[in-house]
Amino acid sequence: MKIVRVNMTNLSVKTEEVPQKWANLGGRALTSAIVAQEVDPVCHPLGKKNKLVFAPGILSGTAAPNSGRMSVGAKSPLTGGIKESNSGGSAAQKLARLGIKALIIEGLPEQGKYYSLHLSKDEAKLQEETDLVGKGNYEVIDTLSRRHGKNIGVITIGQAGEYKMLAANISIKDYHGYIRSAGRGGLGAVMASKGLKYITLDDTGTPPVPIAEPEKFRQAAKTFAQALKEHPVTGQGLPTYGTNVLVNIINEAGGLPTQNFRRGRFAGANKISGETMYEYITTRKGKPTHNCHAGCVISCSQVYNDESGNFVTAGFEYETIWGFGAVCCVDDLDIIAQADRICDDIGIDTIETAVAIATAMEGGVLPFGDGQKMLAILEEIKKGTYLGRIIGCGASVTGKVFGVSRVAVVKDQAIPAYDPRAVKGQGVTYATTPMGADHTAGYAVTSNILNVGGHVGPLAKEGNIELSKNLQIATAGIDSAGLCVFVAFSMLDKPEAMDAVNQLLEAISGKEFTYDHMLGLGRFVLKTEIDFNRAAGLTEVSDRLPEFFEEEIPPHNTTWDFTPDELQQVFADLKEEVKSPPAEVWMAPEDEPRTRPTVELH
Amino acid sequence: MKIVRVNMTNLSVKTEEVPQKWANLGGRALTSAIVAQEVDPVCHPLGKKNKLVFAPGILSGTAAPNSGRMSVGAKSPLTGGIKESNSGGSAAQKLARLGIKALIIEGLPEQGKYYSLHLSKDEAKLQEETDLVGKGNYEVIDTLSRRHGKNIGVITIGQAGEYKMLAANISIKDYHGYIRSAGRGGLGAVMASKGLKYITLDDTGTPPVPIAEPEKFRQAAKTFAQALKEHPVTGQGLPTYGTNVLVNIINEAGGLPTQNFRRGRFAGANKISGETMYEYITTRKGKPTHNCHAGCVISCSQVYNDESGNFVTAGFEYETIWGFGAVCCVDDLDIIAQADRICDDIGIDTIETAVAIATAMEGGVLPFGDGQKMLAILEEIKKGTYLGRIIGCGASVTGKVFGVSRVAVVKDQAIPAYDPRAVKGQGVTYATTPMGADHTAGYAVTSNILNVGGHVGPLAKEGNIELSKNLQIATAGIDSAGLCVFVAFSMLDKPEAMDAVNQLLEAISGKEFTYDHMLGLGRFVLKTEIDFNRAAGLTEVSDRLPEFFEEEIPPHNTTWDFTPDELQQVFADLKEEVKSPPAEVWMAPEDEPRTRPTVELH
pLDDT score, position B175 = 86
In chain B, residues 19-58 whose CB comes closer than 8 Å to chain A: 41-47, 49
Confidence of residue A575 (pLDDT cuts 50, 70, 90): confident
User: What does B497-563 look like in DSSP terms, one character per residue?
Assistant: HHHHHHHHHHHHHTS---HHHHHHHHHHHHHHHHHHHHHTT--GGGSS--GGGGS-BTTTTB-----
Q: How confident is the model at residue A573 (pLDDT cuts 50, 70, 90)?
A: confident
Q: What is the CATH number of domain B239-419?
A: 1.10.569.10
Name the minimum distance, in Å, from the CA of A569 to any CA of chain B. Answer: 18
Q: What is the DSSP string of B179-217?
A: EEEE-SSSHHHHHHHTTEEEEEEE-TTPPPPP-SSHHHH
The residues, ordered by sequence, that sit 6+ positions from B291 with a Cβ below 8 Å of its Cβ are B297, B298, B299, B301
Question: Between B189, B402, B540, which is nearest A389 by CB?
Answer: B402
Can you give the pLDDT at residue A574?
84
Q: Count of residues for chain A? A: 602
State whether A405 and B193 contact (CB < 8 Å). Answer: yes
Question: Can you give the pLDDT at residue B575?
Answer: 76
Mutate to test the interface with B, among A405, A410, A412, A565 (most CBs of B within 10 A): A405
Nearest to A384 by CA among A347, A414, A439, A411: A347
Q: Which residues, in sequence order, are bridge partners of residue A414? A: A409
Query: How far is the C-alpha of B198 from the C-alpha of B192, rounded, in Å?
Result: 9
Chain A interface mutation, best of B400, B409, B543, B563, highest count of A Cβ atoms under 10 Å = B400
Q: Give the pLDDT score at A24.
A: 86
A189 part of contact set with chain B, CB < 8 Å: yes
Taking the CA of residue A363 and the nearest CA in chain B, the distance in Å comes to 10
pLDDT of residue A301: 94
**pLDDT reported for residue B180:** 97
- Give dist(CA B471, CA A32) in Å, integer: 42
Q: For B205-279, where are the E strands, in sequence order?
A: none
Confidence of residue A577 (pLDDT cuts 50, 70, 90): low
Q: Does domain A232-400 have CATH number 1.20.150.20?
A: no
Lowest-pLDDT choice from A278-292, A484-498, A570-584, B281-295? A570-584
d(CA B224, CA B210): 20
Per the CB < 8 Å rule, is B403 touching A46? Answer: yes
Q: Does position A220 have pLDDT exceeding 60, yes or no?
A: yes
pLDDT at A578: 56
Asked if A535 lies within 8 A of B544 by C-beta distance, the reply is: no
Full DSSP string of A286-301: -EEEE-SSTT-SS-BE
Residue B470 and residue B456 in contact, taking contact as beta carbons nearer than 8 Å: no
Q: What count of Cα atoms within 13 Å lies in the side-chain half-sphere of residue A34?
A: 31
Report pLDDT digits (tens) over A157-178. 999 999 999 999 999 999 899 9
pLDDT band (50, 70, 90) for residue A587: very low
Give the number of other CB atoms < 10 A from CB of residue A356: 30
Nearest-CB residue to A547 (from B44, B192, B544):
B44
pLDDT score at A601: 33
- Kindly tell me if the per-residue pLDDT of A602 is higher than 50: no
Write out the CATH class of domain B2-210+591-601.
alpha beta
Mark out the alpha helices in A149-212 (DSSP H runs).
159-162, 187-193
Residue A537: closest CA among chain B residues belongs to which residue? B541
- According to the model, what pLDDT value does residue B368 have? 98
Q: In degrees, to the nearest 5, what angle opens at C-alpha B333 toward C-alphas B328 and B334?
A: 115
Mutation pick from A380, A396, A400 vs chain B, by most beta carbons of B within 10 Å, is: A400
| Per-residue pLDDT reduced to its tens digit, A332-343 | 999 999 999 999
Kindly report which listed range (A43-52, A593-602, B274-283, B367-376) carries the lowest average pLDDT score. Answer: A593-602
Cβ contact B103:B53 at 8 Å: yes
Residues of chain B within CATH 3.60.9.10 domain(s) are 2-210+591-601
Question: What ipTM was reported for this prediction?
Answer: 0.95
Percent of chain A with pLDDT over 70: 96
Degrees to nearest 5, angle at CA B82 with B77 and B85? 85
Q: For Cα atoms B44, B46, B52, give the angle at the middle one, nearest 5 degrees.
A: 105
Phi, psi for residue A287 in degrees, rounded to 5: -125, 115
Residues forming CATH 1.10.569.10 domain(s) in chain B = 239-419
Report the alpha-carbon distance of residue B245 to residue A317 in Å, rounded. 62
Contact B535 A546 (CB under 8 A): no
Which residues belong to CATH 1.10.569.10 in chain A? 232-400
Please tell me which of the candidates A42, A389, A537 has its beta carbon nearest to residue B401: A389
Binned average pLDDT, 10 residues per bin, chain B of 602 residues: 97 96 94 97 98 98 97 98 97 98 97 95 96 98 97 98 98 95 97 98 97 97 96 94 96 98 98 97 95 92 96 97 98 98 98 98 98 98 98 98 98 98 98 98 97 96 98 97 95 95 96 92 94 96 97 98 96 73 44 36 34
Instruction: Give the contacts of B594 (CB within 8 A, at least 6 positions apart).
Output: B1, B2, B99, B207, B210
| pLDDT score of A154 | 98
Confidence of residue A592 (pLDDT cuts 50, 70, 90): very low
Q: Do A47 and B400 touch (CB under 8 A)?
A: no
Q: Looking at the domain A2-210, which fold is it?
A: Aldehyde Ferredoxin Oxidoreductase;  A, domain 1 (3.60.9)
Confidence (pLDDT) at A595: 36
**What pLDDT band is residue A579 in, cutting at 50, 70 and 90?**
low
- What is the per-residue pLDDT across A58-94, written as a single tens digit (0 to 9) for each? 999 999 999 999 999 999 999 999 999 999 999 999 9
Residues of chain A with CATH 3.60.9.10: 2-210
A333-371 pLDDT, tens digit per residue, is 999 999 999 999 999 999 999 999 999 999 999 999 999
* Stretch A541-551: mean pLDDT: 97
Please name the member of A47, A387, A541 whose beta carbon is closest to the beta carbon of B42.
A541
pLDDT value, residue A129: 98
Distance from CA of B548 to the nearest CA of A (A): 9
